[in-house]
Structure 1
Amino acid sequence: MDTPQNTALTRALTELPGPLPARGVIHIAIRHTDRFTVVGNDLAQHPTLSTTAVGFAVRIQSLPQGTEIGIKALAARFREGEKLIAAALRELEAHGYLQRARTHLPNGRIVTRTVFCNQPTALLRPRVAAALPQLPPAVRRTPAPAQARVQAPAPEPEPAPPPEPPAPQATAPEPTTQPAPLPVRLAPPVPPPTAPKPPRPPLPQPRELTPELTRLSTALLSDLRNHAPQFTLSEAHVQKLVPGVAAWLERDARPDTIRHALTTAAPQPVKHPYQFVKYRLTTLIPPPLPDPHNLTAPPTRPRITVTPFQTCDGCERAFRAPTPGNCRDCRNAHELTQAAAA
């Protein structure tokens, strides 16, 4: 059986005006009349946003006002997992399309309010009320009170006093009163999409870069390619990374430990081995060894000797004494008996 062909699409291609391109995509644009969302090219062709983030931005933009767009709500609506959705939302938030803020309600609850803007760069430009439709000059004037608009007949001139000037006659029709435009509520400022990143921490430096430390560090960095070929460093990069390895060796880190920390769980492939090794030397450096005096155990408290219980040989009562014998009462009675006998 032959593959079914879409004859409607083929017929639409023949109705396109002008010559068709020899390669690339051919657009058949049919105007929407209902259920459509306008998406700008600044979002659809964003140079740094991932395709997943652009897709979720279009999905969020097409949802009605007030729809929940939390991570769990989107995961229940779409097939993507929560981790992918969270990464896409963070990406949109970093570029200014999404803003999440915690708001206190009058009843004391705390909710997360999510705001989506389809053109975050437009918020950075000055926005004034002139963006509203301009009205004619006659309409923009503040309307006069009703009693002032009533035309009074011109008074007759009197002979005794000087005549009052007649009221001016309106030659143009009275303009229709328009309601005053509502005040424009400016959106909260959004940080620019390309906010400056914090500076990276510098490469650790040893207290003293001795020739022995330089020799060991150079040998360790040059030997990395024998254990992991993707860590082939140039001679200039090795010389720049020597102080970082020397700082590790100065803190009594073994060469095998340094090699394991630099090459374990590395991405495949390592596109920039110099930057990767520099990052791990900076962020994974161990702390200096503590002073041996700080490792001594604290002095122990003297042990308290507890006098054991003994059983009296005379009355069988229990009493505390270091050795067996009689209790105090039996000893006193025995002393009284001996005194009486004497």
Structure 2
Amino acid sequence: MDTQQNTALTRALAEIPGPLPARGVIHIAIPHTDRFTVVGNHLAQHPDLSCTAVGIAVRIQSLPQGVEVGIKALAARCREGEKRIAAALRELEAFGYLQRVRDRLPSGRTITRTIFCNQPTALLRPRPTASPRRPAVAATPQAPAEVPTAPPAPDTAPAPSLAPAPTPAPAPSPSPSPDMPEPPPVPPPPSFVTPPAAPRLVPLVPNPTAPKPPPPPLPQPAEPTPELDRAGTALLSDLRRHTPEFTLSETDIRHLAPGVAAWLERAAHPDAIRRALTTDLPHPLRRPALLLKHRLTALLPPPLPGVRDLAVPTRPRVTITPFQTCDDCDRAFRSPTPGHCRDCREHRTHRTHRTHRTHRSDDTRAAAA
């Protein structure tokens, strides 16, 4: 049995059109005809949900309405324990996929309803307002339009849809005939009861119709010259010699030549530019001109630095005052010239002042005598 399984898989792999990717997963997609569940990528590739939570969400989504999905019921169906299932349910409840509401029945008994939404972000989109209904006109009977309804709870009747059913366009009424009786009046459609508004959820997946930022422009040389334009055109025209996939048209070459000129202006070698543009190509390469534009824009090298930018900054010189030896007390001190230390200078200054005062007092006595 294993050999037949591998042979069938190899045969299916050989029937895939086009070259196979060199790495990564290879999908063999066989359409389902029965027993399948549609799961959105917002759930299957959710960046913040664990794989256990995603698997529990898919299991709950695949079960029919009215099936118990409590912790013990899921633990009996799955291999995970009750703690992991409880943690996964808390994750789904935090991101809006699951909601557990306590409700009281007319009999007075309190139950817990589990509500699972396969696309919680759709609840945040504005719903169309109900337009005034036109009077019904007798026309050819048409199949009623399908209206998505919310999953009914196990103990209650199915709830009506939140959005009104689309009104079919009135068809031209047939001409009255004397033998045809008048059609009976059509009763007005029942009014829809709007349930209380659900709490507003925080959108987790960006709106797929949100405008994308514009792509960055193709780099242009700072000083375009005929030489740069001629060299860029020649390099793009020569790519098909090295890589046949890059057989470009003249329009594409004229459009991409300024980008190559910007590389050449920044002193990039032509061989380096060729390697950057032709290395590690995707298979199959469908639009080579767009790939070249992306690589010329995203891999643009910076300008070469100048001589002043490469110069090592010099450290400022620090003048160190040498040590000197005092002539009187032989004490070491810092001074640019030899002499006396601070204490000796102060002592000599004090002694000089005292000697001057002594001489002045002697002169005063001599003058008085």
Scaled by the length of structure 2, what TM-score is found? Answer: 0.42
